[in-house]
């Protein structure tokens, strides 16, 4: 199609990006002979895409999510971690992956080059582990307090700790899907898994089918999903930005990690 003086508009722009994604995954990633490297290539391409389209206040990385309670297992390696780097910082920054305290995580995305029925249970389980970590989100707020009861005019810094249990927003991004003829078939499997092991998927997209699926929060009568066909990439980005923007963020209670690790209260 030749150029015109008319602007293409957001929907058409994202349709083009969606076609580019499909070609990149099929042709460019496809030249890699190793399945693991193909998967990492798809993940890196998607991370680079997110960096371009979401607000700069959100940082993008990959790695493991932990909480300050060492009895709670860390997450599996997470393909995409959307985190805060304005008030906070990852605990560790290694070459292959970072370690993120749950307090700084806005959302996570599981990236699949090819989503199949056998992947659903593990994907939901990985999401559930991260949501479980959110029970241990501790933050601090600075204030002032008298140095002592007889020196009320001499104020010193006080650190007030508080808890926020909002879980990170969780998403699945699949370049392709195999094993479902229509989106209702995929939803049926999602319902089956989330009924047995409750979790929540804020958004799931399958690019080659142009499907976008969301889960209703606190639905009566069991898990409930909503299906949208068309503009899948645009819907995914729009839903992701709304959802991660709704997660409150504060300065984390770093003492819960550093002091406990050092063995003193």
State the DSSP string of 149-160.
Answer: TT-TT-EEEEEE
On the question of pLDDT at 31 being above 60, the answer is: no
- CA 232 from chain centre, in angstroms, equals 17
Average pLDDT taken over every residue of the chain: 88
> How many Å apart are CA 18 and CA 208, to the nearest integer?
9
Tokens of 169: 């927003």
pLDDT, residue 36, reads: 56
Q: Do the domain assignments include residue 4?
A: no
DSSP run (H or E) holding 212: strand 211-215
Q: Do the domain assignments include residue 160?
A: yes
Task: Look at 96 and 84; give whichever has higher pLDDT.
Answer: 84
Question: In this predicted model, what pLDDT tens digit does every residue of 13-25 receive, in sequence order?
Answer: 888 888 887 777 7
The arithmetic mean of pLDDT across residues 244-261, rounded, is: 89
pLDDT, residue 115, reads: 94
Number of domains in the chain: 1
Question: In this predicted model, what pLDDT tens digit does every residue of 178-201 receive, in sequence order?
Answer: 999 999 999 999 999 999 888 999
Q: Do the domain assignments include residue 1?
A: no
Question: Cβ contacts of residue 179 below 8 Å, gap of 6+?
Answer: 116, 117
Q: Do the domain assignments include residue 26?
A: yes
Q: Which domain range does residue 207 map to?
A: 9-262
On the question of pLDDT at 130 being above 50, the answer is: yes
């Amino acid at each position: 199609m030749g150029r015109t003086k008319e602007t293409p508009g957001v929907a058409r722009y994202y349709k083009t990006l969606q076609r580019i994604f499909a070609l990149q995954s099929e042709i460019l990633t496809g030249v890699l002979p190793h399945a693991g490297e193909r998967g990492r290539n798809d993940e890196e391409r998607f991370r680079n895409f997110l960096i371009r389209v979401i607000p700069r206040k959100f940082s993008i990385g990959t790695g493991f999510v932990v909480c300050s309670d060492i009895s709670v297992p860390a997450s599996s390696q997470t393909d995409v971690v959307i985190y805060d780097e304005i008030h906070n910082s990852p605990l560790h920054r290694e070459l292959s992956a970072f370690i993120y305290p749950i307090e700084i995580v806005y959302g996570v995305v599981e990236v699949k080059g090819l989503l199949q029925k056998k992947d659903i249970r593990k994907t939901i389980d990985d999401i559930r582990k991260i949501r479980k970590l959110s029970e241990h989100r501790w933050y601090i707020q600075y204030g002032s307090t008298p140095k002592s009861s007889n020196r009320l005019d001499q104020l010193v810094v006080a650190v007030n700790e508080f808890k926020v249990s909002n879980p990170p927003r969780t998403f699945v991004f699949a370049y392709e899907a195999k094993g479902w003829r229509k989106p209702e078939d995929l939803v049926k499997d999602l319902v089956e898994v989330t009924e047995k092991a409750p979790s929540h998927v804020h958004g799931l997209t399958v690019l080659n089918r142009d499907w976008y699926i969301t889960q209703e929060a606190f639905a009566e009568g069991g898990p409930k999903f909503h299906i949208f066909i068309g503009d899948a990439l645009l819907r995914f980005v729009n839903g992701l930005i709304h959802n991660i923007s709704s997660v409150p963020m504060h300065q984390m209670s770093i003492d819960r990690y550093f002091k406990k690790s050092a063995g003193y209260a």
